[in-house]
A and B are shown apart, each in its own frame.
Chain A
Amino acid sequence: MAEKTSSKIKIKCKDVWKVFGPEPQDIIKNWDQYNAMNKVERLKKTGCVVGTQQASFQVAEGEIFCLMGLSGSGKSTLLRCINRLHEPTAGKVFIDDQDITDMSGLELREIRRQKTGMVFQHFALLPHRRLVKNAAFGLEVQGLEKKEREKKAYEALELVGLKGWENSYPYELSGGMQQRVGLARALATNPEILLMDEAFSALDPLIKRQMQDEFVKLIKKVKKTIIFVTHDLHEALRIANHIAIMKDGAIVQQGTPAEIVLNPAKGYVEEFVKDLPKTKFITAQDIMQPLDKWVMPVASSTKELINKMTKNNLRFSFIVDENQKVVDTVDYFNLTLLTGPSQSIEDVPKEYRPSHYPTLSISGDTFLESLLDKAADTKVPLVINDDQGRIQGVISRETILTTLQSA
């Protein structure tokens, strides 16, 4: 799962509608009346199909945002509204606070050239061009000179693992490789945003898995904001930071993968999530408890520590230094055996430490599945560290058990 790099809003859709047909505005105006009809009735009566209705969402910079839904739910339509391959019937789309829906053809073309790249379900490569020329296509359109653009195309192809294939034709490649070319073509222009429409669904399951993993790794390297369309909930849960679930053109629920899995909206989403092996999608981060009750600064006295642990009914507690790094773990029973005046924690003798229970530190993106083993190895709650080794949260056995029970 890609880390969030900032919370700046990169893409924003506000009440976006796309209605196909002769009188699209009429449908929106009288939506109360048409809403109750099903697709077929509406088509018979008005000749219109609602592709996307009143969709609003925001994507933060550096995030992978998944649009998920069954076939015909309007994912592609909504995605295409973002770079205006479809003209939205109503609503606004913003990229970096620029109103896309309001742009002239010329401005829009610049956005398409510089800011967005797109990857297509059936790859949409140019069959008459060698891979370099395919990958260089976006740059060629921008008018970059040949030497320069082919250099960048080579780099992009290498990035997606196609070094050595530069002079092949698309038909000489397997589906998975062709989609890498599609990805390389989108990456070559170094856009800030990638729009990906079912990029992996034409691939067979094994290749798909592999591509997803590589993709997540790659994206961590290149730092892009991504909107990813998929009809596969597993895929969405594997790669997304946020997911929007669509049904009949509307977004029915939005949230992080864990939010979707743990609190699915009644009905439609619930059905989807029902049979998921949840331990595979919930991460340590999603269930960890806030720190304050679990940690004590090094400088505290044993008395303070005992008081706090008594109050919170804790058996174990973590001692942290000024950098929020865990330096010690203490066991309530041992502490209560200490006699004498209240002293600093640092002075507590070694034999009062719970050395027979190891303290395990794990990273936030560990899945619940692997937490189970770890929790079995020790009685001490698990410590969640960030990549600098600072404590982020704590997961006790009770937390794991209650999560499993509800999941």
Chain B
Amino acid sequence: MIKFPVRIPLGQWAESIVNWLTENFSTVFDSIKVVVEFLLVQLDSFFVWVPWPVMLIGLTLCGWIVAGKRVGILTAACLFGLGCLDLWVIGMSTLALVTTAVFISVLFGLPIGILAAKSPRFDVILRPILDGMQTIPSFVYLIPAIMFFGIGNVPGIIATVIFALPPMVRLTSLGIQQVDKEVVEAGVAFGCTPVQLLLKIQLPLAIPSIMTGVNQTVMMALSMVVVAAMIGAGGLGSKILYSIQRIDLGVGIEAGLGILFIAVVLDRILQGVTKKQQDAIMHQK
């Protein structure tokens, strides 16, 4: 066999960069960890604290109002199913994990998306990065997440955020770019500052697209729960991981169904919200 003339030690480089970052920026990572942890714990204890009938009725009403009777009934059935499988508490943990990850994704995705829409140059740089984030297998994110944050819920959330961020950024940017050019011109012609233009015209009109982004982010975050469990995140994901390790089909099926129930509820409600926003902006009958 002919030997390759060079061997680029990319792996070593990456490793030393990560090491260097952990050594020199440990305070930064620690504070991130504290904040994320705090958020998660608050949400988790809140979701678990709310008695299940209250949560069930609340979400059902929510679904009913934003998306109609059918979604209301579906929500009730899904949540009831979750309880019947004795997965309520652990399901709420998953909900808290997903909510935290989505919250952080939106927090960063929205401004990045806005920036991408406003600056073509930034957009050009960002595009391949986003493509990369979505095509690299999600497992790869686990490695730096562990290195920076150790094991547990926080690195799980961070890995989830990286994975779920792209649709948020893309759809925010797309939504803003798709706003009718003449309407934006009207804003400029009446003397809007760039901030006024953004707040009064571009963002309100991009909301349906942004909501679609949120919805996709939620779905991607849910798809990450098992992977995140590999580095110690809790919730239904850890249950599935356990069932894989023990080859326990029953537990796996139950936990899988639990995730499905949560996914259906979140998806339908968010779709309802998106549609409502769209109707408010476009021409509903």
Contacts and interface: CB of A to CB of B under 8 A. Distances in A.
A128 B186 contact: no
Q: How large is the interface on B (under 10, 10 to 19, 20 to 34, 35 or more residues)?
A: 20 to 34
B281 interface: yes
Contacts of A74: none
Contacts of A206: none
B127 interface: no
A81 to B, nearest CB: 13
A315 to B, nearest CB: 58
Contacts of A118: 186, 189-190
B282 interface: yes
Contacts of A127: 205, 281-283
A377 interface: no
Given A171-B283, A171-B284, A124 B191 contact: no
A84 B281 CA distance: 29
Nearest to B183: A124
A189 B182 contact: no
B180 A124 contact: yes
Contact of B182 (A109, A112, A120): A120
Nearest to A189: B190
Contacts of A344: none
A83 B185 CA distance: 11
B190 A113 contact: yes
Given A138-B190, A141-B190, A141-B196, A126 B283 contact: no
B238 to A, nearest CB: 43
B281 A140 contact: no
A136 B20 CA distance: 56
Nearest to B182: A124
B201 interface: yes
7 contacts: A112-B189, A112-B191, A118-B189, A121-B182, A124-B182, A141-B190, A171-B282
Given A109-B191, A112-B188, A120-B185, 17 more contacts: A83-B189, A109-B193, A112-B189, A113-B190, A117-B189, A118-B190, A120-B182, A122-B182, A126-B183, A126-B204, A127-B281, A127-B283, A128-B205, A128-B281, A137-B186, A140-B200, A189-B190
Interface of A: 83, 85, 109-114, 116-118, 120-122, 124-128, 137-138, 140-142, 171, 185, 189, 195
